[in-house]
């Protein structure tokens, strides 16, 4: 399998696009005519630039409104084709994409179109060029790859083939099994795009909402498997029209694109009938067994405050790192680290982001394999020097430049706490609050990075994304989407903020970037936890009394239960699978907070309560007496 991307898929000036495409690791690039019309160089210059980047031009596009034209339009169309052929020869590519005719002047008829293509094939052959025909989902007469294939078949010319585009086929729900009978040497190239399921006009959907394979909801894996079943092992070429991507960083979009194709190839090669697709072997998606630890970076002053909060939450300081200023706090299966070292990455992270939960360790089946997969998918490796005898934990860079450590039980990795840390006995006696494990952590990112991180997590780890929900913040909408695995041992809520007046947007602006905004712990008994917290002097987030009247009516709760919820500032939700209780801390620093949940079968994250929680957090963020901005 070779990877390619159409220049139209990413933003920037033409040279910048090429540099980003090459840096991301693509083998080829589709040259979109408009891209170089705006560029100040000849087609020959463009061709040279592309090859200087080590890229191949996979095709030139588009050639529109060709087949089925009545005279005199037909003759003019052939003249136009000859001019495109001139450009192709100067560019140095042998393939042109002809998309199905949308002109009202065009005439239908498979044989008429086939005859036109036969003639075009003759002209192309004279110059050693090839022509690929693609059915646009909104073509006037041809909008189905099966009809395009019938035209190509009847054109019966070695220089005429079909171009498949996953969006055009899947958006119209055309049977993908029909691809399997196309001879592989007649498939000149395959274009890939995914899209979120939205019921809208096909042309508008395609021009604005396409996204990378795996980022949307279309069955792109099944499509690609059907292609591979023909024996096709040529280019998979991204053709993505997306307003968000056009506004994004060319480097980041190209990197996402390459990751999406490698991930797609890896999924498809595992389907036996599709094994013709040759893709580098890589380990399976990593199974996350639990969250190993969460590490905060802080200065001495913030560390003191954070220590107090952790202690009121019932965490005991159990150990100190041998060679760094890192304290370990524990409760149940939860491990939190507080790093105040003046050297190393944690300190650099503190300098940029202030006090934050900058690293999370995931316990996986096999850390070496998980790391190898992440690197194969373009994740950025991270390493820093450790002292003699200490454990070197494999790590990659994650959201907001933070770290994801990968730990397993196969080696010393699982024993890092015993090896790198010395137990301390002098911690003040705090009463445990029955917190068992990390239920989820929430990462806040800029809205236009949401797809990047969804693809990052779901391609490396065995986890899926849930549909997007809108969380109403009093100051605007925050988009929320969850990455979770079947067992619930990995749950990440990703919140995309468009507006800095929202709580999430404020967090990003103040933290100079994305990161973990809240950390949720699980308890089996929320009321026992609430009582223990109270005894430790923990200050819960005060919830408006109005909430409780509403929740009682909504769920028909026993008034006694409502009273208990209200007394302890506990939020309540329920779905078909069970109940959910939530208790929040006030915010720390610029909007970080803790959450405690009791989840009894419930599958969500309390989205219905978010508006009350956000309003309460915002109120708590403002010092008393300071008027609302």
Our CB check for Mg ion shows the closer of 350 and 580 to be 580
Our CB check for Mg ion shows the closer of 116 and 595 to be 595
246-251 own/partner pairs: CB under 8 Å, 24+ apart: 246/10, 246/11, 247/11, 247/448, 248/10, 248/11, 248/448, 249/11, 250/10, 250/11, 250/12, 250/16, 250/17, 250/19, 250/20, 251/20, 251/23, 251/24
- The yes or no reply on residue 237 touching Mg ion (CB under 5 A) is no
- In the complex, least distance from residue 261 CB atom to Mg ion, rounded to whole angstroms: 15
- In the complex, least distance from residue 60 CB atom to Mg ion, rounded to whole angstroms: 13
- The yes or no reply on residue 610 touching Mg ion (CB under 5 A) is no
Our CB check for Mg ion shows the closer of 417 and 520 to be 520
Binding segment (CB under 5 A) for Mg ion, from list 238-246, 339-347, 586-594, 619-627: 238-246
Binding segment (CB under 5 A) for Mg ion, from list 228-236, 245-253, 286-294, 518-526: 518-526
For Mg ion, the binding residue among 27, 67, 116, 239 (CB under 5 A) is 239
- In the complex, least distance from residue 299 CB atom to Mg ion, rounded to whole angstroms: 27
- In the complex, least distance from residue 518 CB atom to Mg ion, rounded to whole angstroms: 6
Q: End-to-end CA distance of the chain, in Å? A: 55
In angstroms, the CA 10 to CA 245 distance is 6
Our CB check for Mg ion shows the closer of 488 and 537 to be 488
- In the complex, least distance from residue 391 CB atom to Mg ion, rounded to whole angstroms: 31
- Whether residue 210 contacts residue 241, with contact meaning beta carbons closer than 8 Å, is answered with yes
- In the complex, least distance from residue 615 CB atom to Mg ion, rounded to whole angstroms: 15
Our CB check for Mg ion shows the closer of 277 and 482 to be 482
The token pair that represents 82 in the structure block: 């000859």
The interaxial angle of helices 367-376 and 450-460, nearest 10 deg, is: 130
- In the complex, least distance from residue 522 CB atom to Mg ion, rounded to whole angstroms: 11
- The yes or no reply on residue 523 touching Mg ion (CB under 5 A) is no
In angstroms, the CA 188 to CA 82 distance is 20
Binding segment (CB under 5 A) for Mg ion, from list 160-168, 172-180, 217-225, 251-259: 160-168
In angstroms, the CA 171 to CA 211 distance is 13
- In the complex, least distance from residue 116 CB atom to Mg ion, rounded to whole angstroms: 20
In angstroms, the CA 493 to CA 505 distance is 15
- In the complex, least distance from residue 604 CB atom to Mg ion, rounded to whole angstroms: 10
DSSP state of 221: H
- The yes or no reply on residue 520 touching Mg ion (CB under 5 A) is yes
Binding segment (CB under 5 A) for Mg ion, from list 157-165, 178-186, 195-203, 367-375: 157-165
- Whether residue 515 contacts residue 402, with contact meaning beta carbons closer than 8 Å, is answered with yes
Our CB check for Mg ion shows the closer of 358 and 605 to be 605
For Mg ion, the binding residue among 67, 165, 256, 302 (CB under 5 A) is 165
Task: Annotate each residue in 551-590 with x if it binds Mg ion (CB under 5 A) or - if it does not, as one string.
Answer: ----------------------------------------
In angstroms, the CA 60 to CA 313 distance is 62
In angstroms, the CA 484 to CA 498 distance is 23
Q: How many residues bind Mg ion (CB under 5 A)?
A: 5
Residue nearest to Mg ion (CB): 165
Binding segment (CB under 5 A) for Mg ion, from list 7-15, 203-211, 514-522, 549-557: 514-522
- In the complex, least distance from residue 582 CB atom to Mg ion, rounded to whole angstroms: 7
Burial label for 133, CB within 10 Å (0-12, 13-18, 19+), is buried
- The number of beta carbons lying within 10 Å of the beta carbon of residue 468 is 14
- Using DSSP bridges, classify how beta strands 464-465 and 476-484 pair: parallel, antiparallel or unpaired: antiparallel
In angstroms, the CA 353 to CA 513 distance is 7
Our CB check for Mg ion shows the closer of 191 and 443 to be 191
The token pair that represents 23 in the structure block: 């840096």
- In the complex, least distance from residue 413 CB atom to Mg ion, rounded to whole angstroms: 28
Task: Annotate each residue in 465-504 with x if it binds Mg ion (CB under 5 A) or - if it does not, as one string.
Answer: ----------------------------------------
- The yes or no reply on residue 191 touching Mg ion (CB under 5 A) is yes
Binding segment (CB under 5 A) for Mg ion, from list 184-192, 253-261, 315-323, 422-430: 184-192
The H or E element that residue 169 is part of is helix 166-171
- In the complex, least distance from residue 610 CB atom to Mg ion, rounded to whole angstroms: 8
Question: Got the DSSP string for 495-532?
Answer: EEES-TTSHHHHHHHHHTS-EEEEEEEEES-HHHHHHH
Binding segment (CB under 5 A) for Mg ion, from list 348-356, 382-390, 519-527, 543-551: 519-527
- Whether residue 464 contacts residue 455, with contact meaning beta carbons closer than 8 Å, is answered with no
Our CB check for Mg ion shows the closer of 192 and 288 to be 192
Binding segment (CB under 5 A) for Mg ion, from list 185-193, 220-228, 525-533, 586-594: 185-193
- In the complex, least distance from residue 330 CB atom to Mg ion, rounded to whole angstroms: 22
- In the complex, least distance from residue 410 CB atom to Mg ion, rounded to whole angstroms: 32
- Whether residue 324 contacts residue 256, with contact meaning beta carbons closer than 8 Å, is answered with no
The token pair that represents 96 in the structure block: 């042109």
In angstroms, the CA 100 to CA 68 distance is 10
Q: Nearest Cα to 275, choosing from 265, 289, 290?
A: 265
Burial label for 385, CB within 10 Å (0-12, 13-18, 19+), is exposed
Residues that bind Mg ion in the complex, under the rule CB under 5 A: 165, 191, 239, 520, 595
């Amino acid at each position: 399998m070779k990877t390619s991307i159409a220049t139209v898929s990413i933003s920037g000036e033409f040279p910048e696009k090429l540099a980003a495409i090459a840096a991301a690791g693509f083998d080829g690039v589709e040259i979109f005519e408009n891209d170089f019309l705006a560029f100040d160089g000849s087609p020959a210059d463009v061709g040279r630039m592309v090859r200087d980047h080590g890229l191949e031009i996979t095709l030139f596009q588009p050639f529109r409104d060709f087949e089925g034209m009545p005279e005199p339009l037909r003759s003019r169309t052939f003249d136009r084709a000859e001019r495109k052929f001139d450009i192709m020869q100067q560019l140095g590519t042998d393939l042109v994409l002809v998309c199905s005719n949308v002109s009202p002047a065009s005439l239908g008829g498979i044989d008429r179109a086939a005859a036109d293509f036969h003639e075009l094939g003759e002209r192309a052959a004279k110059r050693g060029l090839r022509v690929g025909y693609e059915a646009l989902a909104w073509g006037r007469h041809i909008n189905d790859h099966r009809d395009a294939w019938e035209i190509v078949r009847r054109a019966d010319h070695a220089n005429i083939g079909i171009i498949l585009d996953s969006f055009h086929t899947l958006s119209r729900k055309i049977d993908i099994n029909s691809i399997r009978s196309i001879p592989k040497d007649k498939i000149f190239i395959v274009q890939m795009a995914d899209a979120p399921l939205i019921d809208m006009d096909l042309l508008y959907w395609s021009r604005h909402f396409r996204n990378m394979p795996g980022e949307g909801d279309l069955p792109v894996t099944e499509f690609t498997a059907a292609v591979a079943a023909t024996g096709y092992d040529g280019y998979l070429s991204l053709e993505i029209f997306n307003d968000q991507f056009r506004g994004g960083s060319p480097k980041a979009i190209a990197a996402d694109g390459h990751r999406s194709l490698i991930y797609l190839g890896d999924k498809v090669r595992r389907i036996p009938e599709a094994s013709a697709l040759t893709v580098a072997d890589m380990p399976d998606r990593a199974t996350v067994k639990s969250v190993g630890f969460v590490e905060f970076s802080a200065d001495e002053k913030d560390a003191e405050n954070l220590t107090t909060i952790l202690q009121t939450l019932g965490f005991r300081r159990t150990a100190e790192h041998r060679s760094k200023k890192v304290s370990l706090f524990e409760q149940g299966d939860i491990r939190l680290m507080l790093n105040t070292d003046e050297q190393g990455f944690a300190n650099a992270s503190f300098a940029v982001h202030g006090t934050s939960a900058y690293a999370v360790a995931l316990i996986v089946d096999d850390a070496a394999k998980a790391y190898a997969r992440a690197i194969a998918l373009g994740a950025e490796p991270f390493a820093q020097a450790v002292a003699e005898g200490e454990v070197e934990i494999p790590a990659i860079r994650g959201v907001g430049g933070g770290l994801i450590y990968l730990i397993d039980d196969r080696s010393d990795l699982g024993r890092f706490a015993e090896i790198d840390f010395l137990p301390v006995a002098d911690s003040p006696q705090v009463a445990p609050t029955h917190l068992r494990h990390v239920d989820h952590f929430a990462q806040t990112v800029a809205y236009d990075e949401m797809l990047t991180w969804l693809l990052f997590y779901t391609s490396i780890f065995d986890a899926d994304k849930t549909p997007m929900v809108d969380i109403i913040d009093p100051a605007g909408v925050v988009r929320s989407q969850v990455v979770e695995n079947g067992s619930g041992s990995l749950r990440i809520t990703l919140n995309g903020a468009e507006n800095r007046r929202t709580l999430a947007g404020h967090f990003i602006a103040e933290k100079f970037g994305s990161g973990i905004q809240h950390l949720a712990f699980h308890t089996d008994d929320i009321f026992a936890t609430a009582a223990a917290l109270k005894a430790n002097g923990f200050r819960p987030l005060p919830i408006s009394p109005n909430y409780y009247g509403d929740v009682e009516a909504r769920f028909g709760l026993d008034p006694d239960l409502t009273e208990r919820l209200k007394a302890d500032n506990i939020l309540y939700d329920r779905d078909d699978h069970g109940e959910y209780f939530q208790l929040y801390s006030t915010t720390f620093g610029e909007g970080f907070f803790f959450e405690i949940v009791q989840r009894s079968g419930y599958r969500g994250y309390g989205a219905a309560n978010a508006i009350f929680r956000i309003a309460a957090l915002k109120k708590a963020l403002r010092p008393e007496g300071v008027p609302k901005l």
